[in-house]
Amino acid sequence: MRVNKFPTYAKQIWWIATIAPTLRYSGVLLGVNIKFYGKPIISLFKNSVIQIGNASTICSSSFYTALGVNHPTVIRTLREGACIVIGDHTGISGGSICSALSVKIGHRCLIGANVTISDSDFHPSRSKERRYTTNQDAIASSPVEIGDNVFIGANSIILKGVTIGENSVIGAGSVVTKSIPSNCVVAGNPARVIKLLD
């Protein structure tokens, strides 16, 4: 069966023509040659920063990724002063990236389907404050930094305070609670080093 690819190309042109200008107008810093597949959810809190590097790919449609995505890619700053920086040539498929302080992702990273990366616990740990709080300082937050050439497998969760060294691989479904060195493979819950890379 022959598939007519024209509708696909037309959609890509439409997404690029509409999404990028809208995001730039909203204050999101976009590099050049960024590809959007489907419409992401990108929310910029006042006086915060979201920056997406050159030639990056943001996939929010199951039609364009092998495993499919559970939801559109979500990139969201949560308060003033928060910062999300995504490097050049990085790909994200249906991921959720939220920052109350700082999330930095390097160049040439692969972020698999439905990955969650956050520098915040979102709610205080104290039970009396947990449900309703206006005190942002009661919510534990710590910056996340992901080095260049990191591959994060599908459905993994990267928690606050984590640094992942360059070239490392995070196995699918891992929960990363502590920092990971460069050039290694980790897996599990909590994630542990299972292999060193040359």
| Active site (catalytic) residues | 123
How is residue 186 written in tokens? 């980790």
Residue 25: both structure tokens together: 């107008």
pLDDT score at 61 = 87
Non-local CB neighbours of 179 within 8 Å, separated by 6+ positions: 161, 162, 163, 164, 165
DSSP output for 47-96: T-EEEE-TT-EEE--GGGSTT--SS--EEEE-STT-EEEE-TT-EEES-E
Domain assignment of residue 106, yes or no: yes
pLDDT of 3 reads: 45
Question: Is residue 1 included in any domain, yes or no?
Answer: no
The pLDDT of residue 130 is 57
Query: Which pLDDT score is estimated for 174?
Result: 98
Separation of alpha carbons 29 and 117, rounded Å: 20
| Residue 137: half-sphere exposure toward Cβ, Cα within 13 Å | 0
Question: Is 37 within the bounds of a domain?
Answer: yes
- Provide the whole-model pTM: 0.88
- 34 within a domain of the structure (yes/no): yes
The pLDDT of residue 15: 73
Q: The CATH number of the domain where 53 resides is what?
A: 2.160.10.10
Per-residue pLDDT of the chain (198 residues; tens, 9 = 90+): 444 454 566 776 777 778 889 999 999 999 999 999 999 999 999 999 999 999 999 999 888 787 889 899 999 999 999 999 999 999 999 999 999 999 999 999 999 999 999 998 766 566 666 566 666 665 778 899 999 999 999 999 999 999 999 999 999 999 999 999 999 999 999 999 999 998
Provide the residue range defining the domain that includes 143. Answer: 6-196
Q: What is the pLDDT of residue 128?
A: 65
Count of domains forming the chain:
1
pLDDT score at 191: 97
Residue 26 resides in a domain: yes
